[in-house]
Amino acid sequence: MSLLSYSESGANLDIEALLRAAEPLIELAVAEDMGAGDVTSQAIFSAETQVHAHIVAKAPGVVAGIPVAEAVFRRVSPAIHFVARVEDGEEVTAGTILAEVNGPARAVLAAERTALNFLQRMSGVATLTRYFVDAVACTKTVIMDTRKTIPGHRALDKYAVRMGGGVNHRMGLYDMILIKDNHVEAAGGVQPAIERVRAACPYLPIEVEVRNLDELRQALAVTPPVDRILLDNMSVEEMRQAVSITAGRVPLEASGGVTLGRAIEIAETGVDCISIGALTHSAAALDISMEVADAQHQLPQQDLATRIAAVKALMGNRLVILAHHYQRDEVVTCADFVGDSLELARQAARSDAEFIVFCGVHFMAETAAILARPGQHVLMPDPSAGCYLANTATLEAVQTAWRRLDEIFGDAVAEFTPVTYVNSAAALKAFCGQRGGLVCTSSNAERVMRAALEQRPRVFFFPDQHLGRNTALRTGIALEDTLLWNKHQPPDSEATRKAKVILWPGACNVHQRFRPQDVLAVREQFLGIRVLVHPECQREVVELADDVGSTRHIIERVQSASPGTQWAIGTEARLVRRLQHRHPEQRVMLLASAPPFCRMMGQTTLEKLVCLLEALARGEMLNEITVEAETSYWARIALERMLAL
């Protein structure tokens, strides 16, 4: 087992373990705050006064520590009823209710500060971690923490890092060997230092810190090789050279002075992980507060659903509500049609409704608008819901790459069929339409790639490198015949000429979070478990999985499996949670230990849907999605080529 998976499973705290670690801290914190009692609340509220309160995010961020907050309320009074409205690992916007708390006013208010202190601190760490994780999501580099944690809070800090999508480094001095310069000096060199620790602790993984390329060469000369080498405070150029010298023989960790601004250039050197002390020593607390709510403050979801049903009854078949499978449960329940991106595109194309309300992300609504007939309108409850992956390719950047292909081949159109994943802007679909290319979704990518290769000798695939690579391999193209485009330094003409499929360096920040170590860990823990993943996951994960397919494929596989089947699923968390509830006769779990939610998909709430629908009922159109006529014309051609296959 590799060092990464070792240290990860070493820190793999489930909720029970988290609460065990939190218990003494809660005792301490409650005691320091309560002292002899909350004198103010005792003076103001009678013992019988009950209160209903909401814990609300005041800023956007990633939530971590909900179970700890709940434990604080329960510790202060078992009469407090705590209902979580979000899960740890979920990205929330300002104003999101994280939990509801009911109970005796004195107890609720006495627990408030302590519960929030834990929740704010842990959510701050998870949020900062997520910024770094997202910054490097188009690379294979993982983000790691360090031992620079609040004394006594290590388990909580490291749990929060995992909820942010990061990976834990060693938990302490006991679970891994890290040889630093002072150890090397005392032992008389790298080789003797390693020999000594190997003799003393033969089963522990070994990491060696190096400060320059000479030391790196010495560490690489050790046999058998160490488990990881830490590049301490090297410049980006030195790290690039270190990656080239190491040539994949030993995983490399970059450390020292890593800022959010530098993370991507460090990751692009090809290092395997970046460890960042700031994740835990400098994370600002997420702004979260508790508000005492009156009954009218927040309409229950049930009322919102009733209001939606009323608008649907009023509008009849003038209105259709489409929702992607990654939408929130309450939104999915209100939809007329739920599907994956291909099914939704088809449904939009065949709908006669005057108003198509699209609960999904922007490119999906844009696709519906392109396929809409004159007089039809596509509206989104939240038009700012974009897609991380779609945003990794702009028309300008793709045009620049295409011009380079023109230079190398004379005429890129004669050589390449451009294929864009549906997760892309309309302008890129139009780019394909104008050049004889087409669109694909995760359901039909293989068929599309074969069709594209029948048409011309090569394919230029964007924006998702993983879907493109996984699909190319399934169609029988060798890995060496694919080429990852580099936006900053386009590949030379010899390498480009050798490529059959050129891949844009984009990725989905949700599916990127599943890693090969997750597959190995889940197989080790659950005998006979089947691993089922989306093709937006990286090749190494897809190769280890039992099955790969689109959202629809994943749903169908679980639906048709016999009771008792065990699944570890590598796709968006809301869909996996729904499958878990729908199939209690099977064991369905997420492939990752921290749930990867698509933030953008979660932006559509029932409140926003009600607002849009009630405006529509009043004759007011909000958030219409339109595409400029020429772009729409060419994009439609690319989409129709796909739909005709």
Catalytic residue ranges: 113, 148, 180, 209, 232
Out of ligand SF4, ligand 13P, none, which partner does residue 550 contact, by CB within 5 to 8 A per kind?
Answer: ligand 13P
Residue 507 beta carbon to ligand SF4: minimum distance, rounded to whole angstroms: 9
**How many C-beta atoms lie closer than 10 Å to residue 569's C-beta?**
27
Query: Is there binding between residue 392 and ligand 13P (CB under 6 A)?
Result: no
DSSP sequence for 535-550: TTS-HHHHHHSSEE--
Query: Is there binding between residue 389 and ligand SF4 (CB under 6 A)?
Result: yes
Query: Is there binding between residue 424 and ligand 13P (CB under 6 A)?
Result: no
Residue with tokens 């033969």: 202
What is the b/e burial string over 151-175, where b = at least 16 CB atoms within 10 angstroms of the residue's CB?
A: eebbbbbbbbbbbbbbbbbbbeeee
Q: Which is nearer to ligand 13P, 96 or 441 (CB)?
A: 441
Q: Which is nearer to ligand 13P, 269 or 441 (CB)?
A: 441
Out of ligand SF4, ligand 13P, none, which partner does residue 308 contact, by CB within 5 to 8 A per kind?
Answer: none
Among positions 557-586, residues that touch ligand SF4 (CB under 6 A) are: 572
Residue 558 beta carbon to ligand 13P: minimum distance, rounded to whole angstroms: 14
Residue 327 beta carbon to ligand SF4: minimum distance, rounded to whole angstroms: 11
Out of ligand SF4, ligand 13P, none, which partner does residue 334 contact, by CB within 5 to 8 A per kind?
Answer: none
Residue 414, CB-side half-sphere exposure with 13 Å CA sphere: 6
DSSP sequence for 169-205: --SSTTSSEEE-HHHHHHHTSHHHHHHHHHHH-TTS-
User: Do residues 95 and 291 make contact, with C-beta atoms less than 8 angstroms apart?
Assistant: no
Residue 579 beta carbon to ligand 13P: minimum distance, rounded to whole angstroms: 14
Residue 384 beta carbon to ligand 13P: minimum distance, rounded to whole angstroms: 16
Out of ligand SF4, ligand 13P, none, which partner does residue 442 contact, by CB within 5 to 8 A per kind?
Answer: ligand 13P
Among positions 280-309, residues that touch ligand 13P (CB under 6 A) are: none
Query: Is there binding between residue 598 and ligand SF4 (CB under 6 A)?
Result: yes
Residue 519 tokens, joined:
């597959």
Out of ligand 13P, ligand SF4, none, which partner does residue 600 contact, by CB within 5 to 8 A per kind?
Answer: ligand SF4
Among positions 368-387, residues that touch ligand SF4 (CB under 6 A) are: 387
Residue 123 beta carbon to ligand 13P: minimum distance, rounded to whole angstroms: 25
Query: Is there binding between residue 603 and ligand SF4 (CB under 6 A)?
Result: no
Stretch that binds ligand SF4, among 43-51, 63-71, 246-254, 502-510 (CB under 6 A): 502-510
C-alpha torsion 470→475→479→480, nearest 10: -150
Out of ligand SF4, ligand 13P, none, which partner does residue 551 contact, by CB within 5 to 8 A per kind?
Answer: ligand 13P
Contact with ligand SF4 (CB under 6 A) among 542, 568, 601, 613: 601
All residues at 6 or more sequence positions from 75 whose CB lies less than 8 Å from its CB, including other chains? 26, 27, 30, 111
Contact with ligand 13P (CB under 6 A) among 129, 255, 341, 632: 341
Residue nearest to ligand 13P (CB): 340
Contact with ligand 13P (CB under 6 A) among 280, 367, 441, 509: 441
- Write the CA distances from 432 to 189, 428, 438, 535, 608, integer angstroms: 58, 6, 6, 22, 34
Backbone angles phi, psi at 513, to 5 degrees: -75, -15
Out of ligand SF4, ligand 13P, none, which partner does residue 441 contact, by CB within 5 to 8 A per kind?
Answer: ligand 13P
Residue 13 beta carbon to ligand SF4: minimum distance, rounded to whole angstroms: 26
Rounded to an integer, what distance in angstroms lies between the CA atom of residue 406 and that of residue 415?
A: 9
Residue type, 388: Y
Rounded to an integer, what distance in angstroms lies between the CA atom of residue 388 and that of residue 130?
A: 13
Query: Is there binding between residue 365 and ligand SF4 (CB under 6 A)?
Result: no
Contact with ligand 13P (CB under 6 A) among 112, 145, 272, 340: 340
Query: Is there binding between residue 536 and ligand 13P (CB under 6 A)?
Result: yes
Residue 339 beta carbon to ligand SF4: minimum distance, rounded to whole angstroms: 14
Stretch that binds ligand SF4, among 266-274, 445-453, 503-511, 619-627 (CB under 6 A): 503-511
Residue 431 beta carbon to ligand SF4: minimum distance, rounded to whole angstroms: 19
DSSP sequence for 239-276: HHHHHHHHTTSS-EEEESS--HHHHHHHHTTT-SEEE-
Residue with tokens 């994956």: 340
Relative orientation angle of helices 260-267 and 105-135, to the nearest 10 degrees: 40
Residue 371 beta carbon to ligand 13P: minimum distance, rounded to whole angstroms: 16
Helix H or strand E encompassing 459: strand 458-462
Query: Is there binding between residue 347 and ligand 13P (CB under 6 A)?
Result: no
Stretch that binds ligand SF4, among 45-53, 78-86, 302-310, 504-512 (CB under 6 A): 504-512
Rounded to an integer, what distance in angstroms lies between the CA atom of residue 645 and that of residue 643?
A: 6
Query: Is there binding between residue 508 and ligand 13P (CB under 6 A)?
Result: yes
Sign of CA dihedral 199, 201, 207, 208: negative
Q: Which is nearer to ligand SF4, 70 or 536 (CB)?
A: 536
Residue 274 tokens, joined:
């970046």
Q: Which is nearer to ligand SF4, 442 or 632 (CB)?
A: 442
**How many C-beta atoms lie closer than 10 Å to residue 49's C-beta?**
12
Among candidate residues 632, 634, 527, 602, the one with its CA nearest the CA of residue 86: 602
All residues at 6 or more sequence positions from 164 whose CB lies less than 8 Å from its CB, including other chains? 62, 64, 89, 125, 126, 127, 128, 129, 130, 132, 133, 279, 594
Among candidate residues 501, 500, 507, 532, the one with its CA nearest the CA of residue 519: 532
Out of ligand SF4, ligand 13P, none, which partner does residue 388 contact, by CB within 5 to 8 A per kind?
Answer: ligand SF4
Among candidate residues 33, 152, 163, the one with its CA nearest the CA of residue 90: 163
Three-state secondary-structure class, residue 645: coil
Q: Which is nearer to ligand 13P, 7 or 442 (CB)?
A: 442
Backbone angles phi, psi at 396, to 5 degrees: -60, -45
Out of ligand SF4, ligand 13P, none, which partner does residue 114 contact, by CB within 5 to 8 A per kind?
Answer: none
Interface ranges with ligand 13P (CB under 6 A):
340-342, 423, 441-442, 508, 536, 550-551
Interface contacts to ligand SF4, rule CB under 6 A? 361, 387-389, 423, 508-510, 536, 572, 598, 600-601
